[in-house]
Amino acid sequence: STVVLVFEAPVEQGSDAGETKGGWRWNVEKGQRVKMGQALGYV
């Protein structure tokens, strides 16, 4: 069985100073085993 998540999230935005803020960042890698409740990513 498989679960597919499709979701909208903010895109990481850069500023003139080279800083980025507020975007979606993944916290996993391909092939990684995950447990329920583990973070897939953060906004």
The residues that touch another protein, with contacts defined as CB under 8 A, are 1-11, 13, 22, 24, 26-43
Is the Cβ of residue 6 or residue 17 nearer to another protein in the bound state?
6
Rounded Cα distance between 5 and 9, Å, is 12
Is the Cβ of residue 11 or residue 17 nearer to another protein in the bound state?
11
Closest contact distance (angstroms) between CB of 30 and another protein is: 6
Closest contact distance (angstroms) between CB of 29 and another protein is: 7
Sign of CA dihedral 25, 27, 30, 36: negative
Rounded Cα distance between 43 and 41, Å, is 7
